């Protein structure tokens, strides 16, 4: 006896009945993908920590330093001479854009007889900014930091040399930016006296530091 082959239509009807008897195919169940455990949400601070921290001072920080350091004692012959510290009336002698210590032009240390050209002052500023910025990077570690915050901290360190030991740095590393901003005002003395110039500089640094909080940098 010959076996009758089912018609294509009958085969289709049987397949539909096998899918549930409704004549409608059930879509496959797709499990929702779980978020990656270490992928930060857009609103979290961890987004900032994944953003490369500044490593060089920006234009705002450089302008602030130049504004408060000045390039004083320009002589009639166009050369620039050193001047004594305003707090002590003597050491440390300063020249150009606030350079103290080593005399990279003549050797030895900067003193009352040190004289540089404008180009030598500008070159020393560039070298000092790179050095102080590197020291700020080392002191901050992996703490989330915006460019204005970094600029303010480099200016602070350029003037005080205290970035590694200041409570200001510890508060910034802990994420207490408001507490860190208040710390600037404490560094207003030279030679044991409060100086108006330092009061104004610390206020300008604090303003720059708070001009772009972390949450606005996202």
Provide the CA 121 distance to its chain's centre, in angstroms.
Answer: 26
Place of tokens 């032009």: 105
Rounded CA separation 150/61 (Å): 8
Q: First-to-last CA distance in the chain? A: 80
Report long-range pairs for 174-181 (Cβ below 8 Å, ≥24 apart): 175/45, 175/143, 175/144, 177/149, 177/209, 177/210, 177/213, 177/214, 178/210, 180/209, 181/206, 181/209, 181/210
59 is catalytic: no
Which of 69, 81, 135, 215 is catalytic? The answer is: 69
3-state secondary structure of 197: helix
Residue (of 121, 123, 127) closest to 74 by Cα position? 121
Element (H, E) at 96: none
Both tokens of 17, joined, read: 């009945």
State the catalytic residues.
Answer: 69
């Amino acid at each position: 006896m010959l076996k009758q082959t089912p018609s294509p239509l009958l085969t289709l009807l049987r397949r539909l009945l096998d899918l549930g008897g409704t004549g409608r195919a059930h879509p496959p169940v797709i499990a929702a993908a779980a978020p990656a455990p270490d992928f930060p949400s857009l609103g979290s601070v961890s987004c900032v920590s994944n953003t490369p921290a500044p490593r060089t001072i920006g234009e705002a920080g450089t302008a602030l330093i130049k504004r408060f350091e000045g390039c004083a004692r320009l002589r009639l012959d166009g050369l620039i001479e050193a001047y004594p510290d305003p707090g002590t009336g003597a050491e440390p002698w300063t020249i150009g854009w606030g350079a103290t210590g080593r005399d990279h032009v003549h050797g030895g240390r900067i003193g009352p007889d040190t004289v540089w050209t404008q180009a030598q002052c500008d070159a020393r500023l560039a070298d000092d900014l790179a050095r102080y910025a590197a020291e700020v990077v080392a002191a901050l570690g992996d703490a989330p930091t915006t460019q204005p915050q970094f600029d303010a901290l480099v200016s602070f360190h350029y003037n005080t040399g205290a970035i590694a030991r200041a409570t200001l740095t510890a508060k910034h590393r802990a994420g207490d930016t408001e507490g860190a901003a208040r710390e600037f005002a404490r560094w207003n003395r030279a030679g044991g006296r409060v100086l108006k110039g330092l009061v104004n500089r610390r206020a300008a640094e604090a303003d720059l530091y708070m001009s772009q909080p972390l949450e606005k940098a996202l």
